[in-house]
Amino acid sequence: MNLILCLQLLCFSLLITLFSKATAINVTYESDRIIYLPGQPSSPSISHFSGYITVNENHGRALFYWFFEAQSEPSKKPLLLWLNGGPGCSSIGTGAVVEIGPLLVSKNGEGLHFNKYSWNQEANLLFVESPAGVGFSYTNTSSDFPTILEDHFVAEDAYNFLVNWLQRFPQFKSRDFFISGESYAGHYIPQLAELIFDRNKDSYKYPFINLKGFIVGNPETNDYYDYKGLLEYAWSHAVISDQQYDKAKQVCDFKQFNWSNECNHAMDPVFQDYLEIDIYNIYAPACRLNSTSSIANDNNNNDPESFTKMRNDYRLKRMRIFGGYDPCFSNYAVEYFNRKDVQSSFHADTKRATNGTWSVCNNSIFGAYNFSVFSVLPIYTKLIKGGLKIWIYSGDTDGRCPVIGTRYCVEALGLPLKSRWRTWYHHNQVGGRIVEYEGLTYVTVRGAGHMVPLNKPSEALSLIHAFLTDKHLPTRG
């Protein structure tokens, strides 16, 4: 009788322990739940969370995230991480409230409106402001910036973020996991994927992350092909003259990590001509609003001495809305996220994070960044052999990371052709082109610039649906 009683007490104790742990975990992420953001529409109902994940306790580095559960069947749908590039641009201020999140910023930062093309129709959607110093993310160690800020540093912090975020949201530990993003995230994403891929092989030392693949848009991939493509795109789209093109071709060796003075002088006029239009969407209108935001001030920078810095420089980035939309969205995001009521509802620690002002892009990150990785193509080769699903897409009106350069990158991989270059359709119109290789799919999006989900939201939603579900984009109108 005593033995039975002891067993009953032991079982009861174990149940209490398990319940306590489950409750603690639940409380941990429930404390990050957003009850209401100022200006948030009352319907449809959106389940979302935001807060900080510590990635390095010794240095006091913490990355800020915003997470949306899928609109339907969140317990079954995959987890999708979105990263913006820069380096130094916010995934929340760009990807979340301008491109693919369910809540988009409204004019003049007065509120939010529902995005009927949000990618959380297809997945549970996670945004993180990376690296520390971007947006609401912070570090307590100032030496992090000038000494160690580079691709591997960013990948390590992003990996630690994922490990710790999955501890806070353990229900997603076994879920299919994908990574997505654009621009300089063309470096971030393959390197993060490689880190996960490698550490998944050592289950004794590292937790398993169920990585299935990644998809990148208008990515920086290989400096040689990217800048060769940039120059050729500018010439082929009548941005620069024959003489400018011939001169740059003659003196520039884009295979060199550091350009010669002759090349810099030849490329200066190319970027100067691009300042008259939007390099990120060459057929889009420009924003003519005056603004105190750092990104707007940089847009108006006409100092010729600054042009040589545009080799990897996003400080002159002019992100615009295409075709019928207000092109000043970045100013609206700045207005919204600098509201005190928004920051309070958003669980943002502005004392440590923003130095008083939140910005879409932190130019000091770029200024301190060590561009040490010339090409991520070897990582593609490795991860393709490892069996990950990999897609690349290009908006074909982007002059900064143009379709020409990305096609050079894809072709350089030397992959066997699986399905020839052909048209895909969207609502009985040409959506773009698609070509499939063994291990990689490449898609173009017709009429979209650097930020495809912004310019062509319906097409972008079809694209991510096809990627996540293994369904084909329609190849008949």
Tell which residue, 182, 175, 178, 133, has the closest CA to residue 154: 133
Q: ω before 285 within 30° of 0 (cis)?
A: no
Q: How far is 35 from 186, CA to CA, in rounded Å?
A: 34
* pLDDT grade for 321, boundaries at 50, 70 and 90: very low
Please give the positions annotated as active site: 183, 398, 450
The answer as to whether 23 is a domain residue is: yes
* pLDDT grade for 349, boundaries at 50, 70 and 90: confident
Mean pLDDT of the chain: 86
- pLDDT tens digits for 228-279? 999 999 999 999 999 999 999 999 999 998 899 999 999 999 999 998 888 9
Tell which residue, 282, 285, 287, 295, has the closest CA to residue 449: 282
Share of the chain above pLDDT 90, in %: 70
Name residues whose C-beta falls within 8 Å of residue 125's C-beta, 6 or more positions apart in sequence: 67, 68, 70, 80, 82, 100, 101, 102, 118, 119
Q: How many domains does the chain have?
A: 1
Mean pLDDT for the stretch of residues 449-477: 94
Q: How far is 86 from 180, CA to CA, in rounded Å?
A: 15
The answer as to whether 330 is a domain residue is: no
Q: Which helix (H) or strand (E) holds 477?
A: none
Name residues whose C-beta falls within 8 Å of residue 219's C-beta, 6 or more positions apart in sequence: 182, 183, 185, 186, 187, 189, 392, 401, 406
The answer as to whether 355 is a domain residue is: no
| CB neighbourhood size of 105 (10 A) | 25
The answer as to whether 464 is a domain residue is: no
Identify the bridge partners of residue 62 per DSSP, sorted by sequence position: 54, 138
| Residue ranges making up the domain that contains 18 | 1-31
Q: How far is 303 from 318, CA to CA, in rounded Å?
A: 16
Q: What is the pLDDT of residue 172?
A: 96
The answer as to whether 195 is a domain residue is: no
More confident residue, 311 or 391: 391
Helix (H, G, I), strand (E, B) or coil at 350: helix
The answer as to whether 15 is a domain residue is: yes
Q: What is the pLDDT of residue 323?
A: 41
The answer as to whether 254 is a domain residue is: no
The answer as to whether 17 is a domain residue is: yes
Q: What is the pLDDT of residue 350?
A: 82
* CA distances, 349 to each of 60, 111, 354, 426 (Å): 13, 21, 8, 43
Q: How far is 119 from 135, CA to CA, in rounded Å?
A: 22
* CA distances, 221 to each of 72, 154, 207, 208, 262 (Å): 34, 16, 28, 27, 24
Whole-model pTM over 0.75? yes
Q: Is the pLDDT of residue 87 over 50?
A: yes
Q: How far is 106 from 111, CA to CA, in rounded Å?
A: 5
Mean pLDDT for the stretch of residues 465-472: 96
